[in-house]
């Protein structure tokens, strides 16, 4: 990169490198929360009645629909509808 954009990139990288790992993680979490809030607002603007489980399912598909296959999405949707159900990282679900 050259010019003003290159300068901005160098300054931004320096700023990020001065942060502690905890500060960078906190920043990433805040950005995810903000992004999630924007997605929820967008979903609700298209369907005012979207709440609870239906909202969670729509949010799942919007955020992860391109990264998960249909079987994974189905399994997660089923787990979303069951209280205290956790999805294990080994591919199975447990109570």
Q: How far is CA 86 from CA 3, 23, 58, in A?
A: 50, 28, 19
Per-residue DSSP letter, 42 = H
Cβ pair 87, 75 in contact under 8 A: yes
Find out whether 72 and 87 touch, Cβ atoms under 8 Å: no
Indicate whether 68 pLDDT > 50.
Answer: yes
Say what the pLDDT of residue 3 is.
72
Q: What whole-number distance in Å separates Cα of residue 58 and Cα of residue 50?
A: 9
What is the reported pLDDT for 95?
41
Q: What are the boundaries of each domain within the chain?
A: 1-41, 47-86
Confidence band (pLDDT; 50, 70, 90) for 90?
Answer: low
Mean pLDDT of the chain: 87
């Amino acid at each position: 990169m050259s010019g003003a954009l290159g300068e901005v990139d160098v300054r931004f990288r320096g700023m990020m490198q001065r942060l502690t790992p905890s500060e960078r993680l906190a920043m990433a979490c805040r950005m995810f929360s903000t992004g999630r809030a924007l997605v929820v607002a967008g979903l609700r603007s298209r369907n005012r009645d979207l709440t609870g489980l239906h909202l969670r399912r729509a949010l799942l598909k919007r955020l992860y629909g391109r990264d998960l296959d249909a079987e994974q999405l189905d399994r997660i949707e089923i787990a979303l509808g069951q209280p205290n159900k956790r999805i294990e990282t080994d591919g199975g679900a447990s109570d």
